[in-house]
Every structure is written in structure tokens, then in C-alpha cells.
């Protein structure tokens, strides 16, 4: 039996607020990593709270007891208070069934699943112990006790060049989901596209060495078969899924949509990675609806950003789905921008962000706390 202090088995649901700092232990990301859909619960040890999601609680632990050696893992269970909600249980099922198809360096790896002693399902993935993108860039969910030095380090450590490099990796993951993940040979879902539908900084996290940013949380993901299309590469889908700040207008408006909804969300996240500011920071739901979804407002583009980059953002978050490039093209363009001399605008960047850290220190000392 696992040596949990509070555990997924008891479903105490106390993971959230206590556990923003993730174990920094190096993880064996390169070794063999098979999928086991009936992991005995006892094989997971050292279980500790990790974070709370909307419908799920996440734990971190060590998966051992097989020939592959121990692995640091994340364990996702339904929240105790929500364990009877059908839609949360469906999200967890869907996540498990979709993750089984996926293998990409920028997509979280599935280790398997199993049942707690109480009969609840748990899903096990590799632990992304570098923490989420939003925690890293400090735009949301700033970990308790994040001091000025850490914020300074993040802002200088994450200059435009690094942001573009990480974003190109995520773009490659999305291109894989949209174009390759489910090839024509696979029986039930031949040639399907996988849409993530919840791309946001809280669903992206770093490996322990901070070198790789990976996409996780496939609870809202959807597989679209060619036959499902209503024509013109459009699909009827449940609208209003995901987080409104990052949501494509057609999704928010419950209109037919397609994989370019992910392209829109990716662009908003990319803007956040480069500007280190929360998009539409002061907008509530009504302003997001009126100004962004209906009014076409978009985040501000800085004049010192390379033209190739600002053009790309503008196309990606176009209100017209047909204007948005494919994720394969986005990845290609980002790599082109990275190749350009001076493409990272580093000096302006550093000056601006040293200044921002100053403002951060001031606002923190006045007790202000940025919220979502
Ligand atoms: N593999 C992982 N490695 C590190 N942290 C993780 C991992 N999986 C989940 N987490 C943490 O747990 C949180 C909640 O997980 P997840 O996003 O999968 O749940 P959710 O209920 O679908 O969340 P939400 O609906 O709020 O996006 C994440 O934001 C992250 O902080
Ligand atoms: Mg999530």
C-alpha cells in the first residue's frame, strides 16, 4: 500500500492550496515507459498533494514495482466532492482514452491507470516537476512566497528567444495532434484530428530540467473524424469549453468550429509568454464577451517585436477561421523568427522586465495580488 499522508484513496481533496511547489527530483524521461491500464494502487508510493483542478485532484508519487525502475508520476483522481458528477468522470475517461494514442516529446506521457481501493479511477502520467507555465511566468497562481528575486530570475530567464523556442515545441505538439496522432490505419477513429480545446498556461508544464514544456490535461480534448464534418472543415461541437480568456470567439459563441480554435488559444498563450502579462488582465466575463469575442479586441503588439512574429500572432487570432494558419505552419514560422538576427529584441526586453519587476515589488508590498 502507498505511504500516503493524505491520498487519492481517501479523496481528501486538499491538494490545491498547499502544494504549488513540486518535487524537483530529476525524472527518468528517456527510459522505457510502457502503458499499464491496471496499475495496482499499492505500486504508487510516496503520494503527496500536487494541485487541484476544476473537477480533479492531482497528486504526485512514485510508481515502482516493475522492471522499468521507479518513475516520478502525477496521479489524477476525481475530487471527493465531485466523485458523483458524470461529466467530470467522463472527462477523466476521455483523457485516458485520448492519451493512449499520443506519443510526442511535448505531450505529457501516459503511464497508465487503475482503481483506488474505493473503486475510483485514477490516471497516471509523467510528473512535470518544473511546474506549470503560469507559475513559471508568474501571470496566474503565483506560488505563495515567490519573492522579488525569483520573479527577477523568471523574467530574465524567460526572454523572448526562450519563449519562442518553448512555444515552437508546443506548436509541434499541436501540429502532431491535429495532423498525425491518429493515422488512417487506426480502426474506430481513422484519420481523426485531436483537438485539445483547453490550451492555457495552467495546462502546460515544464520537465524537471526546465528544458521542455509539455501539454497536459486532455479532459476536454476531442477526436474529430472526417465524417463528423458538417462541410467546409467545420464541426458542430459543444461550445463554451475551456477558459474564456483563451477561448476562440466561435467556441464562446457556440458556432461550428475546428482545430483552428486551438490555434487561436495558442496565440493568446504565446502572447502571454512573450509579454509576461496576463492577456485582457482587467477584463471580466462581460468585457471579454463584448470587446474580445464580439468586438474583435486582441492583446497589444509591442513595436519592437519582429514583424514575422506579430504577423503570425495576428493571423492566428483572426476572427475568421480561414485566415488562421495550421499549427505545422505556426511551428515553421516560429523557427524562422528564431533564426533571424536580433529576432529576440533582448535588450529592450530586459530593460522592460527589470522595470516590471520593480513594479511587482511595489504592488506586492502594497498587498495587491493578481488574480485570474
Ligand atoms: N503531469 C503533471 N505534472 C505536474 N503537474 C500536474 C500534472 N498534471 C496535473 N498537474 C497539476 O494539477 C493541476 C490540475 O490538473 P489538470 O489541469 O489535469 O486538472 P483539471 O481538473 O482538468 O484542471 P482544469 O479544469 O482546472 O484545467 C494542473 O494545473 C497542474 O498544476
Ligand atoms: Mg487543467
H or E stretch covering 89: helix 86-99
In a domain, 24, yes or no: no
**CATH number for 116:** 3.30.200.20
- Rounded mean pLDDT, 48-54: 90
In a domain, 244, yes or no: yes
Q: In this predicted structure, what is the pLDDT of residue 358?
A: 74
Q: Are residues 247 and 337 in the same domain?
A: yes
User: How much distance in Å is there from the Cα of 248 to the middle of ligand 1?
Assistant: 21
| pLDDT tens readout for residues 78-95 | 987 655 567 888 899 999
Q: In this predicted structure, what is the pLDDT of residue 154?
A: 65
Name the pairing type of β-strands 56-63 and 44-52.
antiparallel
Q: Are residues 102 and 183 in the same domain?
A: no
Whether residue 194 contacts residue 178, with contact meaning beta carbons closer than 8 Å, is answered with yes
Q: Which of helix, strand or coil describes residue 365? A: helix
Last residue of a domain, one of 126, 154, 170: 126
State the cell numbers at 191: 484519420
296: Cβ contacts below 8 Å, ≥ 6 apart:
319
Q: Are residues 300 and 168 in the same domain?
A: yes
Give the sign of the dihedral formed by CA 176, CA 177, CA 181, CA 185: negative
- Ligand 1 pocket: which of 27, 48, 56 to mutate (most atoms <8 Å of CB)? 56
Q: Are residues 339 and 240 in the same domain?
A: yes
Please state the atom number of ligand 1 nearest to the C-alpha of residue 220.
Answer: 22
Cα distance between residue 168 and residue 160, in whole Å: 12
Instruction: Report the alpha-carbon angle 238-242-73, nearest 5.
Output: 120
Q: Which residues pair with 194 in a beta bridge?
A: 223
In a domain, 289, yes or no: yes
Compute the 3-state secondary structure of the chain and give helix, strand, coil in percent, each to the nearest 5. Answer: 40, 15, 45
Cα distance between residue 282 and residue 276, in whole Å: 15
Q: Are residues 87 and 228 in the same domain?
A: no
Please state the atom number of ligand 1 nearest to the C-alpha of residue 217.
Answer: 18
Q: For the residues of 164-232, what is the DSSP string, one character each?
A: HHHHHHHHHHHHHHHHTSS-TTSSTTTT-EEE----SGGGEEE-TTS--EEE---TT-EEE-GGG--BT
Q: In this predicted structure, what is the pLDDT of residue 66?
A: 57
Highest mean pLDDT among 19-23, 30-34, 315-319: 315-319
- 88: domain range? 34-126
User: How much distance in Å is there from the Cα of 197 to the middle of ligand 1?
Assistant: 15
Q: Which residues pair with 224 in a beta bridge?
A: 193
Q: Are residues 208 and 301 in the same domain?
A: yes
Query: Which residues have CB under 6 Å of ligand 1?
Result: 22, 50-51, 53-56, 58, 74, 76, 108, 125, 127-128, 132, 202-203, 205, 216-217, 219
In a domain, 60, yes or no: yes
Q: Which residues pair with 205 in a beta bridge?
A: 132, 214
| pLDDT tens readout for residues 190-213 | 778 999 999 999 999 999 999 999
User: How much distance in Å is there from the Cα of 149 to the middle of ligand 2?
Assistant: 28
- Rounded mean pLDDT, 112-121: 92
In a domain, 159, yes or no: yes
Confidence label for 227 from pLDDT (cuts 50, 70 and 90):
confident
In a domain, 4, yes or no: no
Ligand positioned closest to the Cα atom of 134: 1
State the cell numbers at 56: 480533479
Q: Are residues 80 and 195 in the same domain?
A: no
Number of domains in the chain: 2
Q: How far is CA 234 from CA 149, 230, 320, 327, in A?
A: 48, 6, 12, 17
Sheet containing 121-126: which strands, arranged edge to edge? 44-52, 56-63, 71-78, 121-126, 110-115
Q: Are residues 151 and 96 in the same domain?
A: no
Cα distance between residue 127 and residue 62, in whole Å: 9
Confidence label for 240 from pLDDT (cuts 50, 70 and 90):
confident
Whether residue 22 contacts residue 35, with contact meaning beta carbons closer than 8 Å, is answered with no
Closest by CA position to 113, among listed 25, 8, 215: 8
Confidence label for 187 from pLDDT (cuts 50, 70 and 90):
low
Q: Are residues 269 and 223 in the same domain?
A: yes
In a domain, 230, yes or no: yes
Q: How far is CA 113 from CA 2, 94, 216, 359, in A?
A: 15, 12, 15, 45
Q: Are residues 310 and 220 in the same domain?
A: yes
Q: Flag the least confident range among 11-15, 293-297, 312-316.
A: 11-15
**CATH number for 191:** 1.10.510.10
In a domain, 196, yes or no: yes
> Roughly how many angstroms between the first and final C-alpha of the chain, as a whole number?
38
Q: Are residues 231 and 150 in the same domain?
A: yes
H or E stretch covering 45: strand 44-52
Q: Are residues 96 and 148 in the same domain?
A: no
Q: Is the pLDDT of residue 18 over 90?
A: no
Last residue of a domain, one of 126, 151, 176: 126
Nearest CA to ligand 1 atom 4: 128
Closest by CA position to 307, among listed 337, 331, 332: 337
Nearest CA to ligand 1 atom 19: 53
Last residue of a domain, one of 73, 100, 126: 126
Ligand positioned closest to the Cα atom of 140: 1
Amino acid at each position: 500500500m502507498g505511504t500516503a499522508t493524505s491520498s487519492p484513496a481517501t479523496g481528501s481533496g486538499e491538494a490545491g492550496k498547499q502544494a504549488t511547489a513540486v518535487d524537483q527530483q530529476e525524472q527518468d524521461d528517456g527510459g522505457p515507459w510502457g502503458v499499464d491500464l491496471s496499475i495496482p494502487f499499492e505500486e504508487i508510493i510516496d503520494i503527496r498533494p500536487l494541485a487541484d483542478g476544476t473537477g480533479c485532484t492531482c497528486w504526485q508519487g512514485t510508481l515502482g514495482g516493475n522492471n522499468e525502475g521507479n518513475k516520478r508520476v502525477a496521479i489524477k483522481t476525481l475530487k471527493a466532492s465531485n466523485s458523483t458528477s458524470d461529466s467530470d468522470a467522463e472527462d477523466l475517461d476521455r483523457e485516458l482514452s485520448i492519451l493512449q494514442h499520443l506519443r510526442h516529446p511535448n505531450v505529457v506521457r501516459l503511464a497508465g491507470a487503475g482503481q483506488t481501493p474505493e473503486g475510483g479511477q485514477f490516471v497516471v502520467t509523467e510528473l512535470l516537476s518544473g511546474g506549470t507555465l503560469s507559475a513559471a511566468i508568474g501571470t496566474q497562481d503565483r506560488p505563495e512566497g515567490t519573492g522579488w528575486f525569483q520573479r527577477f530570475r523568471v523574467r530574465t530567464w524567460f526572454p523572448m528567444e526562450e519563449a519562442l523556442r518553448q512555444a515552437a515545441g508546443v506548436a509541434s505538439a499541436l501540429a502532431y495532434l491535429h495532423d498525425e496522432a491518429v493515422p488512417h490505419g487506426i480502426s474506430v477513429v481513422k484519420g481523426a484530428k485531436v483537438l485539445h480545446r483547453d490550451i492555457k498556461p495552467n495546462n502546460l508544464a515544464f520537465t524537471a530540467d526546465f528544458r521542455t514544456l509539455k501539454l497536459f490535461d486532455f479532459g476536454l480534448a476531442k477526436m474529430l473524424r472526417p465524417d463528423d464534418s458538417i462541410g467546409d472543415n467545420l464541426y458542430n461541437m459543444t461550445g463554451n469549453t475551456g477558459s474564456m480568456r483563451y477561448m476562440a470567439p466561435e467556441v464562446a459563441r457556440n458556432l461550428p468550429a475546428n482545430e483552428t480554435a486551438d490555434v487561436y488559444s495558442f496565440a493568446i498563450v504565446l502572447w502571454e509568454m512573450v509579454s509576461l502579462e496576463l492577456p485582457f488582465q482587467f477584463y471580466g466575463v462581460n468585457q471579454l464577451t463584448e470587446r474580445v469575442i464580439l468586438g474583435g479586441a486582441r492583446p497589444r503588439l509591442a513595436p519592437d517585436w519582429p514583424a514575422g512574429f506579430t504577423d503570425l500572432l495576428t493571423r492566428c487570432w483572426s476572427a475568421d477561421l480561414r485566415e488562421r494558419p495550421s499549427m505545422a505552419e505556426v511551428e515553421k514560422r516560429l523557427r524562422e523568427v528564431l533564426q533571424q538576427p536580433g529576432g529576440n529584441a533582448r535588450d529592450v526586453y530586459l530593460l522592460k522586465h527589470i522595470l516590471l519587476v520593480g513594479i511587482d515589488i511595489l504592488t506586492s508590498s502594497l498587498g495587491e495580488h493578481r488574480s485570474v
